[in-house]
Structure 1
Amino acid sequence: MALVNGLEMVPDHSVLCIEDHSGNIKSIYAIYVASEWARNGSTVHYLTLQTREDVQKKMALLRIPESENLMIVEITPAYAKQEVLAHITNPGASLIVIDPFSVFFAEDSFAELNALLFSLISASRKGTTFLLMVDGGVLPDRQENLVRAMADGIIQFVVVPEGDKLKHYINIPKMRGAFPRTKMLSFTLNEEGLLIDTRERHG
């Protein structure tokens, strides 16, 4: 498992569903994971609709180190699905981040998405871990539930109103190789980065 800000949550050879409704926190988390894997010597491909410059600026702002092992791949919107599928078919990396997975495959039928997920699982067992960035509400409910059901792990970024404040938590309903957590993990996101409080529990 990769250690990210004090929390082990990314098992090798797995397909993980990373969810939120804001569209931003999960991507920041994915960049942390990608950077950590790359600095540990793994080859990482980050497939994104963002420009390479925008991702690098975000990394610099959050003081996330770059590495020659981290390849930021700009996906062309008009050919997004074809380009992403090409990377899945011939991974060539230990970790592939697909951001945003839900947008790239929003028009897929249930049967098409089911076949794709089986392909991802097969590729993962041969040595590639996949992080699927899923924006809540983009995929139809049935397809969204399919992704959750077939993924080896689910990491959800949750915002909970508490009094006059909004508190941020990580919920991990399931994770390959680990017992389900019974509490959510509190975290903050500021100029120092994404900081996980492994002491505080919620729920």
Structure 2
Amino acid sequence: KAEELANSIINNINKATSNQAVSQVQTAGNHAIEQVHANEIPKAKIDANKDVDKQVQALIDEIDRNPNLTDKEKQALKDRINQILQQGHNDINNALTKEEIEQAKAQLAQALQDIKDLVKAKEDAKQDVDKQVQALIDEIDRNPNLTDKEKQALKDRINQILQQGHNDINNAMTKEAIEQAKERLAQALQEIKNLVKAKENAKQDVDKRVQ
């Protein structure tokens, strides 16, 4: 619309027969163009707000359907998403130009992508710790130097560590927090391995002394 108006103004300038006429056409034209842009901004804001609402709802639905997230995790993520949406609406409503509206939309889209990345990181982390734990349990089960009672006690302890690891990952709201949770779990599992080794060494030492 602004482009059509500009063409019309240029035609009028072409027809103008004096400097004064050119100036008048230009002034009137500039005012008309500003008016068109001014009318476009509110509509652009409405469209942008609708657009971000849709994006947010789609992500909330995705999170609600995700079987790998606890109810508590889902709620925490949705609370965060609603904060992002609120910020997005504020930025769009405060925008003075179409460019600023687009920037606000882009920022919101990036923030939503960060949430998606966080969810993926949580899922990956849980799978990763599950694997680590299962590997250690299998190792303990195969160990001929441990009694059944020892094995059970160690596995009970490992399952406590796993539960704690899952809780920490569930509560994490940043990738850094997820990594920290994984590191704590890995350290706790290493301590179990060290304990098993210490038990084996002690038993061997006793056996040697007996012989």
TM tier, shorter chain? Answer: under 0.3
Q: Which has the higher contact order (CA 8 A, sep 6+)?
A: 1
Structure 1 length-normalised TM: 0.22
Structure 2 length-normalised TM: 0.21
Flag the structure with higher strand content: 1
Which protein has the larger Cα radius of gyration, Structure 1 or Structure 2? Answer: 2
Flag the structure with higher helix content: 2
